[in-house]
Amino acid sequence: MRIVGVIDIGKTNAKVAAVDLDRFEEIAVRKTANGVVEGDPYPHFDVERLWAFVLDSLRALHADHPLQAISITTHGATAVVLDEAGGLALPVLDYEFGGPDTCAEAYGAVRPPFAETGSARLPMGLNVGAQLFWQQQTFPEAFAKVATILTYAQYWTFRLTGVRVNELTSLGCHTDLWNPNAGTFSTLVDSQGWRPLFAPVRKASAIVGALLPDLCAATCIPSGTPVYCGIHDSNASLLPHLLTRKAPFSVVSTGTWVVMLAVGGAKVALDEHRDTLINVNALGDPVPSARFMGGRAFSLLLGDGATSASFEDEEAVIAAGHMLLPSLPEGSGPYPSARACWTMDEKALTTGGKAAAVSFHLALMTATCLDLIGARGDIVVEGPFAANAAYLRMLQAATARPVLADSHNVTGTSLGAASLVDGRHVRTGVQAFAGPVPQSFVRYAENWRALTKRHVQQGNGDQQR
């Protein structure tokens, strides 16, 4: 296998890439926005539009770069409920919809404790168990027709092969459905009678089946082309480093969510109220993790255009002491109840200065999360923030540990998913951040921590963003 087609569906954007395993890089990519349909019965993902995009992209990529295998990676916090015929029993819920919160009290009475699942109680539909519970309570007739529950990456595997399976990394990402230490379903699955509905669990690297004949005809991809089980996106980012680095180290996967995963870290008691959790990696091992919506915060504060800061912008922010205290958006991350505020008038910042201050904030949030999960050793940053010098500089200042930027690709998820097919040629492309880290940046990080502690202790309910 040399050329792998990777279907990579994130919360904000989706893409299909051709990955050359010998060169271990993307050689062609097609992208689209991943929108949400706001109609009845609740906000849901437009899977049919995505499916049309996937097939069109596979056909176009294969014409120029003949694909020999297909792998899938998707965001987490999503499950798909199918009827007997393989259609949707209910639409695929957008996990940012607040509907499941209406059943919060009842769900809280049945969900397993954090000690069992390593899955903290999260708002909206961020716990897949809460989604399923709400759907069952709110749409009992439709839920009664559910024949199969699939994790999201494996829904696309099913569309490609007709085979229904689930997978460990997707079950083990804050779903409430999995016991990572026992390596089996949680007590919630049995108490709610869901176990018969879950398709068999396979490894991410398993070949599930071959591309269906009608899809071969539609895409011109040869019959017999294998389709791999697929993997949760944060674990896709982690996999190349698992295969090439020695512990201890941590990986910071940046996108809509910034997800930190600590391998070989110090033993610490995770705080379920600060968005720490246990993920399960592609090898089946528990991985202490933490997360916050860093990419979403960046977009909310700076817009979607390319915004960067010069070193002079950074130094000006440091000298003036401009800081953004946690946290935006609210409801998740290490300070879920804190309301974001600036220490000085936001309007006094230049465009570059604001980009620097926001980047510092995101780096310091990252450093906080790494402390919470006992991270040790090198810090590998992959995804969009790997190209943000202000972020990398402040992260190194705040942690006093080596920070490495994975410059191999804009996102490591596609390459990680391709590693499921053949990991022998994995190269991470990491480079140590070599920019200056003045002592003034270290003092800024210390001051941010002190101000944030006071900000949180005071309740900041009357603070303005």
65 three-class SS: coil
Of 115-119, 412-416, 445-449, the range with the lowest mean pLDDT is: 412-416
Full set of structural domains in the chain with CATH = 3-229 (3.30.420.40), 241-457 (3.30.420.40)
230 three-class SS: coil
pLDDT tens digits for 308-344?
899 999 999 999 999 999 999 988 899 999 999 999 9
How far apart are alpha carbons 230 and 233 in whole angstroms? 9
DSSP-assigned letters across all residues of 309-351 = --HHHHHHHHHHT--EES-SSTTSSS-TTPPPEESS-GGGS-H
Predicted confidence (pLDDT) at residue 461 exceeds the cutoff of 50 = no
Residue 252 DSSP label = E
pLDDT tens digits for 376-397?
999 999 888 999 999 999 999 9
Find all residues with CB under 8 Å of 351, minimum gap 6, and list them: 307
Find all residues with CB under 8 Å of 308, minimum gap 6, and list them: 352, 355, 388, 390
Predicted confidence (pLDDT) at residue 183 exceeds the cutoff of 90 = yes
> Which pLDDT score, from 0 to 100, does residue 421 have?
96
| Number of other residues whose CB lies within 10 A of the CB of residue 248 | 15
What's the pTM? 0.84
Question: In this prediction, what percent of the chain has a pLDDT beyond 90?
Answer: 88
How far apart are alpha carbons 409 and 48 in whole angstroms? 28
* Residues 239-253, mean pLDDT to the nearest whole number: 93
How far apart are alpha carbons 46 and 280 in whole angstroms? 28
pLDDT tens digits for 206-227?
999 999 999 999 999 999 999 9
